[in-house]
Amino acid sequence: MLTIEEFTYLIIVASLSNNYVLVQTLGVSHSIRLPYNTEVVHAIAVVTTSVMMISAGISHCFETIILGPLQLVYLRTLSFMLLIFTVIMFHKYFIKKYKVLTDKFFNVFFPLLFSNSAILGIALHNSQNVTSVFQAMSHGLGAGVGFSIVLISFANIREKITGPHIPLHLRGAPIALITIGLISMAFSGFRGIV
């Protein structure tokens, strides 16, 4: 089982000191190129966190129960991608059934989830570093929290870094990447915190 110390440790590591977007540079494009309104950003944050947590748990189970005993570990990346795809499709099904999001955002929103490299990154990272499914899921939850912090804060800081005051050649993606680089430098202050 999972102790409260382990849980706290995994959450802090995955969300702050080892943040998937800022420190491991996975899923950067997803956190910086979302020009949507606040509600959609919140929805993306919640759904991504949920996908990260569930797919981390399922992929860990799949590896320890099927891939490991059958000595098929070299199929890890491919099978994890299929598992993540399935998890995302389940999310899509439930969201559609209960009409949480409007259709307008639906079509642009899910392709973004499929291509989020942080989700696969967590599953692959887990296969070498955790020992139980609870650890895997709390690591996924922490990574989702870290991703959501960056996503929501970046959506709010966006107003400050768009507009005519930014030099012409830096408008758009360059200034967003400079900003995420500076934030990444700031987050490296968390190094060694656990």
Partner 1 sequence: MSSLIRRNPKRSGTQTILLVILACLPGFVALSWYFGWGVFLNVFICVISSTIFEAIAISFKKKLPYYCLKDFSTLLTAVLIGLSLPPLCPWWLPIIGCIVAILIGKYAYGGFGASPFNPAMVGYVTLLLCFPFLMSQWVAVDAPYSNNIQHPTLIKSMAIKIGNLQQFDGITGATPLEVFRQNNGLLVHQLYSEKKIFSQSGWAGVGWEWVNLGFLLGGLFLVFSKIISWHAPTGMLGSITILSLIFWDSGSSASLGSPIFHLFSGATMIGAFFIITDPASSTTSTEGRLAFGVLIGALVFFLRGWSDYPDGLAFAVLIANFLAPTIDKYVVITADSDK
Sole window of 42-50, 84-92, 139-147, 180-188 interacting with partner 1 (rule: CB under 8 A): 180-188
Sole window of 1-9, 27-35, 52-60, 154-162 interacting with partner 1 (rule: CB under 8 A): 154-162
If one asks whether residue 189 binds partner 1 (CB under 8 A), the answer comes out as yes
CA angle 148, 81, 146 (to 5 degrees): 15
If one asks whether residue 108 binds partner 1 (CB under 8 A), the answer comes out as no
**Residue in the structure block whose two tokens are 């509600």:** 39
Q: Are 147 and 118 in contact (CB under 8 A)?
A: yes
Dihedral sign for Cα atoms in the order 157, 162, 166, 169: positive
Q: Are 77 and 124 in contact (CB under 8 A)?
A: yes
Dihedral sign for Cα atoms in the order 114, 115, 119, 123: positive
Amino acid present at 22: L
- Half-sphere exposure of residue 183: CA atoms within 13 angstroms, side-chain side: 23
- The C-alpha R_g of the chain, in whole angstroms, comes to 18
If one asks whether residue 8 binds partner 1 (CB under 8 A), the answer comes out as no
Q: How many residues does the chain have?
A: 194
Closer of 95 and 183 to partner 1 (Cβ): 183
Min separation Cβ 43 and partner 1, Å: 16
Binds partner 1 by CB under 8 A, chosen from 2, 75, 108, 178: 178
Min separation Cβ 180 and partner 1, Å: 10
Min separation Cβ 154 and partner 1, Å: 8
Sole window of 23-31, 42-50, 124-132, 174-182 interacting with partner 1 (rule: CB under 8 A): 174-182
Min separation Cβ 182 and partner 1, Å: 6
Q: Are 56 and 122 in contact (CB under 8 A)?
A: yes
If one asks whether residue 102 binds partner 1 (CB under 8 A), the answer comes out as no
- Where do contacts with partner 1 occur on this chain (CB under 8 A)? 38, 152-153, 156-157, 159-161, 163, 165-167, 170, 175, 178-179, 182-183, 185-194
